[in-house]
Amino acid sequence: MGSIGRAARQLCDTLPMHDCLFCKLVAGQIPSAVVYRDDDLFAFRDINPQAPFHVLVVPRRHISTLNDVSAGDDGLVGAMLRRAAALAAEHGYAERGYRTVFNCNADAGQTVFHLHLHVLAGRGLAWPPG
Ligand code: 5GP
Ligand code: ZN
């Protein structure tokens, strides 16, 4: 996507009526299995888990992709990663290990365009990923 397309999408993202699945989960308009919430973050179980433990950590504020994160979001993204570590630890996976993944755009298989951090644990995870 070019810079004009990206600017148009960022403008669109600021409009309250934009149609975003994870904004609806954050707002409680669509139910989800919530594992954590605070003023900035929301975390819930993935509806189609790829491991015994699979949660998504999202910012409450709509950000479409990792490409749309700005320097002012450094604290937010740091909080997402630290929350992922805390959730893995709370569920007993800190020592065994876990994986965190941001999928960005088509080649990575991003399907929901609201920034989310996958946290996967509970089985051996192959590397490299498919
Ligand atoms: P992506 O492929 O964009 O990185 O990941 C999107 C994730 O969102 C997928 O793992 C998918 O299973 C999950 N997902 C899609 N729709 C829903 C939903 O309505 N509820 C929940 N909890 N997860 C969803
Ligand atoms: Zn959203």
Query: CATH homologous superfamily of domain 3-121?
Result: HIT-like (3.30.428.10)
Report CA(41)–ligand 1 centroid distance (Å). Answer: 16
What integer pLDDT is reported at residue 44 of this predicted model?
98
User: What are the sequence ranges of the domains in the chain?
Assistant: 3-121
Which candidate, 72, 73, 58, 39, places its Cα nearest to that of 110?
58
Report CA(91)–ligand 2 centroid distance (Å). Answer: 27
The CA distance from 127 to 130, in Å, is 8
What integer pLDDT is reported at residue 9 of this predicted model?
62
Q: Does residue 76 carry a pLDDT above 90?
A: yes
| Per-residue pLDDT reduced to its tens digit, 13-64 | 666 547 999 999 999 999 999 999 999 999 999 999 999 999 999 999 999 9
The CA distance from 29 to 118, in Å, is 21
Which of 37, 47, 104 is the pocket-test mutation for ligand 1 (most atoms within 8 Å of CB)?
47
Which of 32, 111, 113, 118 is the pocket-test mutation for ligand 1 (most atoms within 8 Å of CB)?
111
Q: Which residues are catalytic?
A: 116
Residue 128: cis peptide before it, omega within 30 degrees of 0: yes
